[in-house]
Amino acid sequence: MRKQQCSIKIDSNHNRRKPTSLSLRIEPFYIVTPGATYGLSGKLSDLRHGRPMRSQRIIFESGHSIPSINSTITDDLGNFRVSGLRAPMTEGYYNHRALYEGRPGYNPSASGVISLRVMH
């Protein structure tokens, strides 16, 4: 009886990639009136070394009725900010999330989902 051989390819680079952390908050506050201006900001960090990650692209996912938000780049301290966003005219909760797609040596990450509350 012949033995069967089985091989499994393991991505050795995956285990060497550093974990990242991405935060997101709404400015100036998460409750706004219809049509008000607000912004999103946060920070991207290398969790293994506790260092900010500069010059990295951050993209955004938003809920219904929110126009697409342009991507942005982190500054030297790993911070990012988009401002001048306009709240919908309809009352409700509108979700936002920031995403980092990763790069060689670093894992992708996503912020938690945060809600903008629009009310009169």
Name the one residue in this structure whose structure tokens are 């012949």: 2
Of 80, 96, 77, 78, the residue nearest 88 (C-alpha): 96
CATH classification code of 14-118:
2.60.40.10
pLDDT value at residue 78: 98
24-58 pLDDT, tens digit per residue, is: 999 999 999 999 999 999 999 999 999 999 999 99
| DSSP annotation of 64 | T
Please name the residues in contact with 39: beta carbons below 8 A apart, sequence gap of 6 or more.
26, 27, 28, 81, 82, 83, 84, 85
Quickly state the pLDDT bin for 64 (edges 50, 70, 90).
confident
Rounded to two decimals, the pTM is: 0.85
Tokens of 109: 């990450």
Name the one residue in this structure whose structure tokens are 């999103």: 40
Phi, psi for 60 (deg, rounded to 5): -130, 145
